[in-house]
Structure 1
Amino acid sequence: MSRNKYVLLATLGSAALLLGAFGFQYLGGMAPCKLCLWQRWPHGAAIFVGLFVLFGGPRVLVWLGAAAVATTGAIGVYHAGVEWKWWPGPSSCTGGGMDLGALSGNDLLSMDAPSGLVMCDEIVWQLFGLSMAGWNAVICAVLLGLWVAAARRKV
């Protein structure tokens, strides 16, 4: 298979994952948490890099696409570990979500405070025991393989 076919498959894979995330959010009503949002940015970068390479960009950028999916996959592993309580997550979206002891009485009673904090350590959807973060990590391992295969191809 040619380098461009590998790049195309990897780019389409990131696009599919990103579209799936938006589908869960806007069609399924599942708001993303902070770590979910962090996983989206590298997919966007991988799509941008893939398109650039497909339209004649330098071969060395293929490694940048690989780095992007490796990054989102690593965030997915971290996020899945937070969901499974293997390690702590960001204090702003795990456990209690906020340090209530640091808030004043006015802050606690304020109607202007943001509502609907989505917790990073709660699994809102899973398939075969893996959450969305877990599936992101698994699929990113495959996408990383495609990017590396593309980088190692001469043409």
Structure 2
Amino acid sequence: MTASPAIASHGPNRLLTPPRLIALIGLASLALIGGAWFFELVIHLRPCKLCLEQRVPHYAAIGLALAGLVLARSPLLQWLVLLGLAGLMAWSTGLGIYHAGVEWGWFVGPNDCGGAGSAAAGMQDFMKQLQTTRIVACSEAAWRFLGLSLAGWNALASAGLFLLAIFGLPRR
């Protein structure tokens, strides 16, 4: 019995074929986005500007993984999809490290990091918004678990997904 080229290139890691790694990274990004929306909509933690920016690579990874699973049938295309996913996860890791560093005071955050409210219809609405709107600062972690904020956990998860994508690149 002979193994297919995609499986044979991975030796003992027959379960970690490029299509399965693509799916795993896409599902993990979907889970991270789902977690972010859970904290926003259920726990009511309002995201700051940097929080929202950290979502972009995961949205892109979900789309790339879906496209890769549907379209990437050749080993070369699968390699390109994994390389793209590695790049997105490296970007996400960098954003997470930067945001966590801003929260810890290691880096200076953006000047425009705060909560944006909707436009007020009149002066009374504007005054009410001023009294009730909570500005979300990038330099304050809204939640921590084991000493890491959501930005820190995103950096760790994204770094792990980066390593998975790199690991999945077939060696020739």
Superposed displacement of residue 93, structure 1: 2.1
Give the match for residue 144 of structure 1. Answer: 162
Which of 115, 123, 127 is the aligned partner of 1:111? 127
Larger Cα Rg: Structure 1 or Structure 2?
2
Question: How many angstroms apart in 2 are the aligned matches of 1:86 and 1:69?
Answer: 22
Number of matched pairs? 141
Q: What residue ranges of structure 2 are gaps of 5+ in the alignment?
A: 1-15, 116-125
Query: With CA pairs under 8 Å and 6+ residues apart, which has the higher RCO, 1 or 2?
Result: 1
Q: Does 1:51 align with 2:66?
A: yes
Percent same amino acid among aligned pairs?
Answer: 39
Superposed displacement of residue 10, structure 1: 1.0
What is the TM-score when the length of structure 1 is the normalising length?
0.83
What is the TM-score when the length of structure 2 is the normalising length?
0.75
Give the match for residue 46 of structure 2. Answer: 31
Question: Cα RMSD over matched residues?
Answer: 2.1
Question: How many angstroms apart in 2 are the aligned matches of 1:126 and 1:6?
Answer: 29
Give the match for residue 132 of structure 1. Answer: 150
Superposed displacement of residue 62, structure 1: 2.1
Question: How many angstroms apart in 2 are the aligned matches of 1:16 and 1:74?
Answer: 19
Instruction: String of CA shifts for 1:75-133, please: whole Å, max 9, x gaps.
Output: 00000000000111001227xx9xxxxxxxxxxxx638773321000011111100000
Is the Cα contact below 8 Å between 2:22 and 2:81 reproduced in 1?
A: no
Which of 71, 82, 85 is the aligned partner of 1:62? 82
Greater shift in the superposed pair: 60-69 or 18-27: 60-69
SS where residue 127 of structure 2 aligns? coil
State the AA in 1 paired with 2:139: D
Is the Cα contact below 8 Å between 1:9 and 1:146 reproduced in 2?
A: no
Is the Cα contact below 8 Å between 1:49 and 1:62 reproduced in 2?
A: no
